[in-house]
Homo-oligomer: A and B are copies of this chain.
Amino acid sequence: MQTQKEEIRERILFYAKDEFLKKGFKGASMRDIASRADVSLSNIYNYFKNKDKIFCAVLEPLLEAFDKMEKEHNREDYLSIEIFEDEDYQRENILYFMNIIKKFRSELKILLFMSFGSSLENFRDTFTDRHTQMSIGYLKSLKAKYPEINIDISLFFMHTISSWWLTILGEIISHDELKDNDIEQFLKDYTIFSTAGWKKIMNVK
C-alpha cells in the first residue's frame, strides 16, 4: 500500500495504451487494464474519471506534439515560392513528422485507427479541417506575394491533400518493418512527386 501515486498512474497508462492498441477503445476493458497494471479495478477510478479520460491521457503527449507542430509550421519565413525547389525545407518538414512517428508510433496507431467510440474518434476530421484551413491561408499569402500563381484550387482537393498527410502517417506507422533508408527513399520520391504536382497545378514555371 501507499505506493507512489505517480508510478501507479504510469502503470495504468502503460497497460491501457497496450490494450487500446490491441483492442481499440471499445474493445479494451477496464478489467483487463486493471489486472495487468496490478491495480484494483475500482482504484483506477481514483486516478482517472473514466475510460475516455484514460484514453485522452494516453494520447495527450501526441496531441501536444501536434499542436506544437502546427504553430511552428505557420512561421512567416517559409513564405517563399522557392520552397518548391528547396529540398531542405521539404525534408526538414517531413523529418519533423518522422520524429513524431518515432516517438509516438503506438499513440498514432491508437489515435488514427483505434479511437472509435472515444471522444477523440473525430480527430482525423478535426485535424484535416484545421490543416486545410491553414493551407488555404498559406496559399493566399503566397498569392499576395506572387500574384502570377494560380490558387484557384477546389476546396475539396485541398482537403484531400490534407487528409493524405494522415494517410501517409498511418501507412508509415502501420509498417513496422520500414527502416530509415526506406523512409529516406520514400521522402525523395514523395518530394519529387508532390513538388511537380503543386508546381503544375499552381502554374509555377
Residues of chain A whose beta carbon lies under 8 Å from any beta carbon of chain B? 24, 26-27, 113-114, 116-117, 125, 128, 153-157, 159-160, 163-164, 166-168, 170-172, 174-175, 178, 182-183, 185-186, 188-190, 192-201
Contact = CB atoms under 8 A, between A and B. Distances in A.
Given A116-B116, A163-B167, A175-B156, A200 B190 contact: no
Nearest to A159: B171
B160 A171 contact: yes
A171 B186 contact: no
A156 B193 contact: no
Contact of A157 (B113, B186, B201): B186
9 contacts: A24-B116, A26-B27, A114-B116, A157-B186, A164-B164, A193-B200, A193-B201, A196-B196, A196-B199
Contacts of A166: 167
A163 B171 contact: yes
